[in-house]
């Protein structure tokens, strides 16, 4: 039950007013608000009972990823010395994942980037995640992929203190995605492989219409974006974004 006024509608303009505009049973709407909607060609639509608001949480915390490298144990030793193992520095938001003390240099056909953090633990295959901005510095233009999907991606040269490794593939721009535990997925009413529509507020609003949902008992709730996406949307780690829809379908009450 809500009182819908012209003022409350105006405050929705920057985030978007849906057309038709949904009205719940019990909602009151002022004559000025009706004029406001009519003047913009927006129809008023009484909501169906099955569309009623539920108890699902409506926001997700943001985690911004800077460029980083995942290494196989073989490559750890090639870059940092025979028998070397990664040195945990601090835990990341995802359980079991950590930033390491190790950094290395990315070397591409056009340029290089120093002091790139290695994340642990070691993986089966090495993978390098950069932003599109980094790609222009390096002269490498990888596709947008989910982690682990490196078929047909470009390679790069990694330089460490004890040696170098030339990868034949493994450079990606990370596709933005949400991590969730199995329990959180139930709360949010989503399953692994779903896609969410997420939106930001603030002075630089952006909508991400196709955010992959990845569910695992090992995951914790986090919306992962890279630095380009963070800077374009004025987001930083710890901010939250709002859920505006699922699988390409907007929730009622949401618009562009």
**Site of interaction with its own copies (CB under 8 A):** 12-20, 40-43, 48, 50-51, 131-133, 143-144, 173, 175, 195, 197, 199, 203-210, 227-229, 231-234, 244-245, 247-250, 252, 254-256
Dist CA 73 CA 69 (whole Å): 13
* DSSP 8-state assignment for residue 50: G
Minimum gap (Å) between residue 163 Cβ and its own copies: 31
Nearer to its own copies (CB atom), residue 175 or residue 214: 175
Give the count of alpha carbons within 13 A of 88, CB side only: 7
Nearer to its own copies (CB atom), residue 9 or residue 86: 9
185 burial (CB, 10 Å; 0-12 / 13-18 / 19+) is: buried
Nearer to its own copies (CB atom), residue 123 or residue 169: 169
Q: What is the Cα Rg of the chain in Å? A: 23
Minimum gap (Å) between residue 81 Cβ and its own copies: 33
Minimum gap (Å) between residue 161 Cβ and its own copies: 26
Give the count of alpha carbons within 13 A of 240, CB side only: 9
Nearer to its own copies (CB atom), residue 15 or residue 103: 15
Minimum gap (Å) between residue 256 Cβ and its own copies: 4
Minimum gap (Å) between residue 155 Cβ and its own copies: 20
228 burial (CB, 10 Å; 0-12 / 13-18 / 19+) is: middle
Q: Which two tokens stand for residue 2?
A: 């809500």
Nearer to its own copies (CB atom), residue 136 or residue 164: 136
Residue 205: CB atoms within 10 Å:
14
């Amino acid at each position: 039950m809500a009182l819908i006024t012209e003022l409350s509608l105006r405050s929705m303009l920057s985030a978007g007013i849906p057309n038709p505009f949904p009205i719940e049973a019990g909602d009151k709407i002022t004559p000025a608000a009706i004029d406001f909607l009519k003047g913009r060609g927006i129809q008023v639509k009484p909501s169906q009972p099955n569309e009623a608001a539920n108890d699902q949480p409506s926001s997700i915390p943001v985690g911004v990823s800077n460029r980083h490298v995942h290494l196989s144990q073989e490559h750890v030793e090639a870059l940092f010395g025979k028998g070397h193992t990664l040195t945990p520095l601090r835990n990341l938001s995802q359980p079991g994942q950590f930033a390491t003390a190790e950094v290395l240099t990315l070397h591409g056909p056009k340029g290089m980037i120093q002091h790139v953090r290695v994340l642990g633990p070691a993986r089966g295959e090495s993978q390098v995640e950069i932003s599109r901005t980094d790609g222009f510095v390096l002269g490498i233009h990888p596709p947008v992929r989910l982690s682990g999907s490196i078929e047909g991606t470009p390679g790069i040269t990694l330089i460490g203190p004890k040696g170098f490794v030339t990868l034949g593939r493994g450079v990606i721009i990370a596709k933005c995605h949400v991590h969730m535990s199995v329990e959180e997925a139930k709360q949010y009413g989503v399953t692994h492989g779903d896609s969410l529509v997420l939106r930001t507020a603030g002075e630089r609003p952006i909508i991400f219409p196709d955010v992959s949902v990845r569910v695992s008992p090992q995951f914790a709730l986090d919306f992962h974006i890279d630095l380009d996406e963070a800077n374009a949307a004025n987001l930083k780690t710890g901010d939250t974004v709002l859920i505006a829809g699922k699988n390409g379908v907007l929730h009622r009450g949401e618009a562009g």
